[in-house]
Structure 1
């Protein structure tokens, strides 16, 4: 009888009295913003959006309202189940964009410097439309309240972090043609140093207008005019973004992509993200190997991971793109029988050496095309006391995006260079490339916000990362480290990475992976030990409740409510 009344009392209590929420991001100020929103009774989605806005201010080199992102959301149910949904806030190409956007008059691809700096690389931003959709579906607090932490940071000022200072030091040499950016992040000609206070009154003013007027205040009116002036007025811009491009932008609700891995169910974002299909491809090829028995110190574990990685990425390059424009064989790429066949190519004793794309069920005939994607981006996670989970990756693409700042007076927000994520060569062997530029199309992405469910259907782990194409591998590595090797979330994020490049397998410098060089060479790999710009965030369910984690490589932080 006592147990009955205790259970009844628990049902009558607000969920926040039963559990604590957690938040984690790549910057302590953004994490604090998310925690503040949870403490005010906000949902996981509310907290995630407050972090997205705060990161616009304090991590401008990586993400913000001038870019886009992908959100994966779990809505908890009282019976322990729930509903998984995703929102695509990826940027779109202007409707007038053509496949030859990144080709010169001679038909050859432009240099990166020619392509990235200015309006040629700018896509229609999606983050505020994503935010509007997410808060309409899952929000608990008034829209305007989510802006308060970001406005305070922009107006009152914030201290420059080591990553922001480093990005400014690298970018300042390119800002001769971008005076608004230089004025904000390299005043008096010197890039801002770590610890310097930056104030951004123009951004604060815009955030106030959007807080009062909703997302339409970004896509129409004063900001729309300023955005178009920046994008179309820059050096070398095609001048083809229009008011109709901005007002016509929509964030899209997409079906999540899920597949089993051992006793778990792993879920993520579908096209135009290649995150879920490629992560699930890696895991699916590794499932026949006993990674738990091999352990994280075994060279063979990392050799197997490296082989599966390169096979999965080959499929990514061949088949992925915006599914609104091209046929993407999502079901075939994660088909268990197909992945078993692909796994059969992997030998525990020898590197394959050549990693061709496969032929998944339902796949069109394609030729591989290499996509450029620069390390950047950010990830953040919020879990509220009711058990709702929001995990989002957000980006302006490369450091400081297109290098353009939109704003009246001093300050503003960075515009993305997301269109450089399209494949610059529109045809290969006489056939159109899946990820070529087309008007209204969303470029292929590696962003991989992920939620893992246990056998009973409970979310138990969520993770995402930043760093261009390495995002997929960072997420796959964290999943293996946590699920197979039982490492806590922070240790799983901190494990050194194995990646690949033109010169062979890359073993992350300064980590235990670097010591595998001789073992990998004996297995037939070409090996490079090198630095990789990595950062990730995660949250794990523990017996004491949810616990957040930030990559030890980053200045990020996790906080409980």
Structure 2
């Protein structure tokens, strides 16, 4: 059986958010004179030369690193990390949810956008979350069995491995099986989330049986053992995705649904399909940006905003100067207004991707931006791109020495999704149906407004903000990044890229820099603490409505530069870890 290796055996690990230890960086000898100020770097990323894994949980990163060291490629490692996160990051990692994966194939140079987003059951209907008076029923799309979309994670990870990996499914899933079977100590971060979600999880006996002890949530240091999940993972390893979609696991999920008036049937599971899509591609100051297409809104709007911002000398204005923040906010407002109108499942609605990402359309939007004054959201309407037509989620990034690259973001939606564990499976089920527009114009859990393009419908995939993204330089991988964070994923990912390209930050500095976010509705500029009071006053004088709120995003970024890998796990999540060798 696969055994977990100790972290002290890792060649290079980030011990603390602001400090990095690398085995190959030896202490200076007494004969060497001390040297200072050899670099502009304030914080240094983790470095490796043969491969790197960045994820939101140290144990999962270790699993991925071990796969790379055993000769697996980036996809092998990414799939292993995906299954491991289902065990060690139970509030977001999953096999009961869905997501997106970007793959860069070094052999062909091809970039693939893998869509394994959840699907609405066949019995889903447009008004299923409304009462008799046409009002949204609070909680129905979040905390009931009606909130669960048909999961895609197992199919997606298995598809990626079979087509782009080199190892057997049973081998890459074995570490996750062992972690679930033997358990691991609950971290302080997970303990805090469990405590916060006590009411959410506590209403379901199947969930309490796993995450509670003596009538209360598990506490830091106590061991989280998931025997049923281990059994489910082992079945998937032996029988492949059929165990989930047609076999014993699927039967238990369907039984759970039937018992609680859920909609998912055996036919829904059997009919689930993974889709390979063409990435959306843009250019920014000589770099190529390659990201996830619809039903993700991320790639489209990252490129749309960067097309607007490229005309401004952001490097000259400075990172997080009032002028830079103001211009970013104005670009964000216009992109999110378009998101509400046009974005949805491209298999069911026409999404004007080319128009939204065209430079001509960006020119039109930029002409409406006043560099000295904020435009109220009430004055911003969705544009007309057609003439130009020719919180909880987790992200991980993996790179290997052959040049393969993976950026994957997958989710249950909110922390622990629906909060429902399908009895006998150990599998936490998503509440992704809330990502549809329950009613046009009514915000979802993240405050996002949607329209007819994202209305509930049988077989549809809900719109997402997940934005796994590559940046290429001269056609070769330069950056892999992405983040959780609901509606803030898109702006977090974009700011990470701008910090590297415009402000010459390394990936560690790009991660720790305070972030901003504006999503058109509500009309407020959300800002993390750390921006100067003088800057905030200037922004307020420009008409921006400031709201200082908690941390946004938790990026996992790898940069390829000068024949080496440089990575960093966002310190906003203390459980994250980047490992290289």
Instruction: Please give the TM-score of this superposition, normalised by the length of structure 2.
Output: 0.87
Counterpart of 1:447? 466
5+ long unaligned stretches in structure 2: 1-47, 443-449
Residues 437 and 486 (structure 1), Cα distance of their counterparts in 2 relative to 1, 3 Å cut: same
Counterpart of 1:361? 386
Q: Residue 286 of structure 1: CA displacement? A: 0.3
Give yes or no for the alignment of 1:271 onto 2:322.
Answer: no
Root mean square deviation, CA, Å = 1.9
What are the residue-to-residue correspondences of 1:312-327 with 2, within 5 Å?
Answer: 312-327=335-350
Counterpart of 2:513? 495
Give yes or no for the alignment of 1:541 onto 2:541.
Answer: no
Give yes or no for the alignment of 1:160 onto 2:160.
Answer: no
Q: Residue 542 of structure 1: CA displacement? A: 2.1
Counterpart of 2:242? 216
Counterpart of 2:485? 467
Counterpart of 1:151? 177
Q: Residue 101 of structure 1: CA displacement? A: 1.5
Q: 1:303-327 deviations in whole A, cap 9, x for unaligned?
A: 1111111111111111000000000
Q: In structure 2, which of residues 128, 141, 144 is the aligned counterpart of residue 101 of structure 1?
A: 128
Give yes or no for the alignment of 1:32 onto 2:62.
Answer: yes
Q: In structure 2, which of residues 477, 488, 499 is the aligned counterpart of residue 481 of structure 1?
A: 499
Distance in structure 2 (CA, Å) of the matches to 1:507 and 1:427: 21
Give the secondary-structure state (helix, strand or coil) at the position aligned to 2:548: strand
Distance in structure 1 (CA, Å) of the matches to 2:53 and 2:142: 33
Residues 432 and 386 (structure 1), Cα distance of their counterparts in 2 relative to 1, 3 Å cut: closer
Give the secondary-structure state (helix, strand or coil) at the position aligned to 2:197: helix
Counterpart of 1:414? 428
Q: Residue 105 of structure 1: CA displacement? A: 2.5
Distance in structure 1 (CA, Å) of the matches to 2:578 and 2:528: 25
Give the secondary-structure state (helix, strand or coil) at the position aligned to 1:541: strand
Q: Is the 8 A contact 1:276 1:448 kept in 2?
A: yes
Q: Is the 8 A contact 1:109 1:425 kept in 2?
A: yes
Distance in structure 2 (CA, Å) of the matches to 1:37 and 1:43: 8
What are the residue-to-residue correspondences of 1:54-453 with 2, within 5 Å?
Answer: 54-77=84-107, 82-111=109-138, 113-234=139-260, 237=261, 239-354=262-377, 355-362=380-387, 375-408=391-424, 412-425=426-439, 433-453=452-472
5+ long unaligned stretches in structure 1: 1-17, 365-374
Q: Residue 166 of structure 1: CA displacement? A: 2.1
Residues 172 and 363 (structure 1), Cα distance of their counterparts in 2 relative to 1, 3 Å cut: farther
Counterpart of 2:531? 512
Give the secondary-structure state (helix, strand or coil) at the position aligned to 1:487: coil
Q: 1:352-374 deviations in whole A, cap 9, x for unaligned?
A: 1233211002589xxxxxxxxxx
Q: 1:201-253 deviations in whole A, cap 9, x for unaligned?
A: 1111111111010111111121111111223323xx3x321111001101100
Residues 94 and 315 (structure 1), Cα distance of their counterparts in 2 relative to 1, 3 Å cut: same
- How many aligned positions are there? 522
Residues 58 and 432 (structure 1), Cα distance of their counterparts in 2 relative to 1, 3 Å cut: closer
Q: Is the 8 A contact 1:507 1:513 kept in 2?
A: no
Q: Is the 8 A contact 1:49 1:146 kept in 2?
A: yes
Give the secondary-structure state (helix, strand or coil) at the position aligned to 1:47: helix
Residues 245 and 82 (structure 1), Cα distance of their counterparts in 2 relative to 1, 3 Å cut: same
Counterpart of 2:543? 524
Distance in structure 1 (CA, Å) of the matches to 2:266 and 2:364: 49
Give the secondary-structure state (helix, strand or coil) at the position aligned to 1:209: helix
Residues 220 and 363 (structure 1), Cα distance of their counterparts in 2 relative to 1, 3 Å cut: farther
Counterpart of 2:13? none
Q: 1:330-356 deviations in whole A, cap 9, x for unaligned?
A: 000001111111111112211112332
Give the secondary-structure state (helix, strand or coil) at the position aligned to 2:163: helix
Q: Residue 164 of structure 1: CA displacement? A: 2.0
Give the secondary-structure state (helix, strand or coil) at the position aligned to 2:129: coil
Distance in structure 2 (CA, Å) of the matches to 1:65 and 1:55: 9
Residues 256 and 231 (structure 1), Cα distance of their counterparts in 2 relative to 1, 3 Å cut: same
Instruction: Please give the TM-score of this superposition, normalised by the length of structure 1.
Output: 0.90
Q: Is the 8 A contact 1:54 1:149 kept in 2?
A: yes
Distance in structure 1 (CA, Å) of the matches to 2:320 and 2:393: 29
Distance in structure 2 (CA, Å) of the matches to 1:228 and 1:513: 53
Give the secondary-structure state (helix, strand or coil) at the position aligned to 2:482: strand
